[in-house]
Structure 1
């Protein structure tokens, strides 16, 4: 019944439009693709081992951001910052329930709940497919509960679509294995990876892509501008993908982390014991801070992650091919955004949920066909909250509320930007700030040291805290870090 309702929404969504359009026939369409747990691991990035021909091609024809950082290194909170254009201001904004608590169930007002809502207010047909907010299908319910009818974003979507396939619910699909089971149904007695003997549609992201492709075919014949958002699950755990994507790689040649040891001069409270990863109880080894996993297992896990990335790349390739086949590519802005990074054994961590580079740095590509000339590679430091004003400016829309981000359009068209290069991140009772040369982190906790400083002039390893050695640098940078303190934390007494 659940699948039927969602598939019927495709048909019902075409039955008419009550939104009043302005006479702006040249307004661009938007295709926003959110990819879960996608760090800077695409073939086009330096030092990446990923095989991603479709995303590489998109990056070469658009703009690749090499230093994009999310606000919060966890899915729901990162997406709350994305869609609201706001940094976290209270503890719930660090939670996966941020959108559910702060947005879902509230009445519609002139102030938009998200930038999707803002586009809808201006006559765009907004279409959500897959995981855009935190929920796997956009509805509010627990991992092991029956789906509800309550939307996480009640006013953002003209159409909300999802096909859970044989997994029957969105959350089951999110943790899906090829045989129709999932992490919940198997009581976590599962491996954190799978090479499925199946085609692309044997996993949920293939079904999500299929829905989006079919919708794009129909949108080519409409005059109304659209904003389509597509959310792919992989490479989020479990690292499951059809075997053909595993076969792209030679495991023996896969390199493990060059930063697999604990950083010097820190408290272990800055890291974690890879609890999310260790929930997959049939993994060959448990990860922990006491010792790294074996090199053989690290290679296997990296192989699995890379296969999942290649699988997502193939799905994105189908979307881009359909855009071109429909002639929509000439007037559709395409954005690919990773909702945060992921430690692949870096600092002995397997997962996100830290204030280190590996958890905060993620993929970002923007292509705007209406720009005559785009900067190909943008090394400028940018933040996720910058996307809200960027999208509005490209769509010719004005904001209806204060935003924390700054439009990236001047970087895209190479006209330059003012102000310091800085990106703020929040988690684990701490605030971190990335500048071109340093990462400064301040923890509001009792465990010492509470200040960490990492040099980034030559590399991004973050393997030695130099705060005590360079108090003058800390003193110089701390006022800028405090500018990012939104009132979320106070020094413990």
Structure 2
């Protein structure tokens, strides 16, 4: 019945001509791959030579890989709520992990509902929205994940940074079953176009994966990420407060286990790469391969000691940059590189554009279909990232400008200073550059949902733990 109603709605709107009603399955299918906490440590970006991601790299070579792609928010919940709703955190007020996005984002506005109303079968598994705030009514099929995962023996990390090898099989982790779901859907015969979402958890902490993935990254070969002692000296108080160097970074230095933590993150990435390989093998065997779009995205980046910071929760390059890959049959060309600066708000409108679905009026991002067709085509819209109320970063191809709620500023020349060591915001020679970038800042900032976004992130006990993840 839902399919019939959706088709009738398309006929009434004129989107789907009557003669084409039976051709609905010819609309492109979508394989929507979300990765949790994966920064730019993937082989095809070349930022970290230690990472081992052959399957992600092969996927990147199938279509267009973006070298400058950024999240809407450097936190799981607001990043995913923004991408899936088409509305930025400054519009919805969803800034932290503890805010229930469902209270401010109606079901009819989400990406999934838009495709479902357009006649698509919508199925998903794993982490697409942030855990605890799922709304399964949007989906036609969304199975629950299996129970508890294996626990490590002995030490499980340093403070809140959790990492340890496991004595278990690949299939004992939930990401295996999540991948299995997408594989099963790709192999099924469907009577209409499909939108299949595969949300993998790793490399989200804990970085607990089978021992063999740790063995791929021997501890004696591990190199620390680039870092500069005293890097926060020219960062304003608001930025230092976000970094909290007295927390995770101080504990890691004291422990002497920094390299072990890097090893754990690399191992977790390699585990995810294995599942991507399984998924791509199924894609190649799928009867719908030639009419299936792949979009691969990460919800935000991650620091491992750069700028004396760990985790996300900041507005610098490491925490805001995340992979984005597109494969669109008949449009993208293999092994294409796009150096334009985009953010994840482009995903919703681009998928609509590619599927011939009108972009809903509330969606704030711009379609990047032109960049998929020609990665060198003109593009003048920078990426915008928001962390908590009224703190924003604007990232153009050459610059990053950060303005905090209290007026503190940072400005980095990304061409000369890609590690963001020198804050130029106080140099009057760059006043025009700041003004040029500042025009992209939101003109309005909604108060946090439930009015406690920042307080919740700083809360105690279980609330504090939830926000930290």
Q: TM-score, normalised by structure 1?
A: 0.79
How far residue 424 of structure 1 moved from its aligned partner, in angstroms, is 1.1
* 1:75-114 equivalent positions in 2, closer than 5 A: 75-90=76-91, 92-96=93-97, 97-103=99-105, 112-114=108-110
Match of 1:475 in 2: 432
Match status 1:62 vs 2:63: yes
1:375-425 residue CA offsets vs partner (Å, 9 max, x unmatched): 611111001101111111111111121322111111111075545241111
The 1:177/1:269 distance shift into structure 2, 3 A limit, reads farther
Matching residue of 1:132: 128
Q: Deviations over 1:166-199 (max 9, x none)?
A: x2xxxxxxxx44479xx9xxxx998711211111
Q: In the aligned structure 1, how far is the partner of 2:411 from the partner of 2:67?
A: 21
CA distance in 1 between partners of 2:137 and 2:377 (Å): 33
Task: Measure, in 2, the Cα distance between the counterparts of 1:157 and 1:210.
Answer: 18
Match of residue 373 from structure 1? 333
Q: 1:35 to 1:452 in 2, by over 3 A?
A: same
> How far, CA to CA, are the matches of 2:369 and 2:439 in structure 1?
27
Give the CA RMSD over aligned residues. 2.9
1:370 is displaced (CA, Å) by: 2.6
Partner of 2:466: none
Q: Corresponding residue for 1:204?
A: 174
Gaps of 5+ in 1: 1-14, 141-151, 168-175, 279-285
How is 1:238-257 mapped onto 2 (pairs within 5 angstroms)? 238-257=206-225
Partner of 1:193: 163
Question: Aligned-pair distance for 1:473?
Answer: 2.0
Equivalent residue of 1:161, what SS?
Answer: coil
Any unmatched runs of 5+ in structure 2? 8-20, 448-469
Secondary structure in 2 aligned to 1:380?
strand
Aligned: 1:215 with 2:185: yes
Aligned equivalents of 1:198, 1:89: Cα separation in 2: 43
Cα 1:352/1:191, change in 2 over 3 Å = closer
1:16 Cα shift? 9.6
Post-superposition Cα deviations, 1:223-266, rounded to whole Å, max 9, x if no partner, equal 21100011111101111111111111122222212124323311
Match of 1:264 in 2: 233
Is residue 2:272 matched to residue 1:312?
Answer: yes
What's the counterpart of residue 487 of structure 1? 444
Aligned to 1:122: 118
More helix by share: 2
What residue number does 2:452 align with?
none
Correspondence for 1:156 among 123, 127, 138: 138
Q: CA 1:377–1:45 in structure 2 vs 1: closer, same or farther (change >3 Å)?
A: same
Compared CA separation, residues 477 and 164, structure 1 to 2 (3 A): same
8 Å contact kept, 1:113–1:156: no
| Separation of aligned partners in 1, 2:332 and 2:252 | 49
State the partner residue of 1:171.
Answer: none
Contact 2:350 2:366 survives alignment (8 Å): yes
CA contact (8 A) 2:337 2:375 kept: no
Q: Give the Å deviation of 1:304.
A: 0.4
Aligned length: 427
Partner in structure 2 of residue 29 of structure 1: 29
CA contact (8 A) 1:79 1:132 kept: yes
Instruction: Work out whether residues 432 and 481 of structure 1, in 8 Å CA contact, stay in contact via their aligned partners in 2.
Output: no
Question: CA 1:336–1:372 in structure 2 vs 1: closer, same or farther (change >3 Å)?
Answer: closer
Partner of 1:339: 299
Q: 1:488 to 1:315 in 2, by over 3 A?
A: same
Matching residue of 1:287: 248
Using the size of structure 2 for normalisation, the TM-score is: 0.83
CA distance, structure 1, for counterparts of residue 288 and residue 92 of structure 2? 41
Name the counterpart of 1:440: 401
Q: Which of 404, 409, 419 matches 2:369?
A: 409
Find the residue that maps to 2:358 and give its secondary structure: coil
Task: Give 2:201's match in structure 1, choosing from 219, 230, 233.
Answer: 233
SS of match in other structure, 1:134: coil
* Contact kept in structure 2, 1:32 and 1:336, CA below 8 Å: yes
Give the direction of change, closer, same or farther, for the CA distance of 1:162–1:380 in structure 2 (3 Å limit). same
**1:454 aligned residue:** 412
C-alpha deviation, 1:271, in angstroms: 3.7
Give the Cα separation in 2 of the matches to 1:91 and 1:409: 26
Deviation, 1:489, is 7.7
1:426-477 deviations in Å (ceiling 9; x for gaps): 115421111122111111227xxx11111111342111211112x2423333
Q: Using a 3 Å threshold, how does the CA distance of structure 1 residues 274 and 461 change in structure 2: closer, same or farther?
A: closer
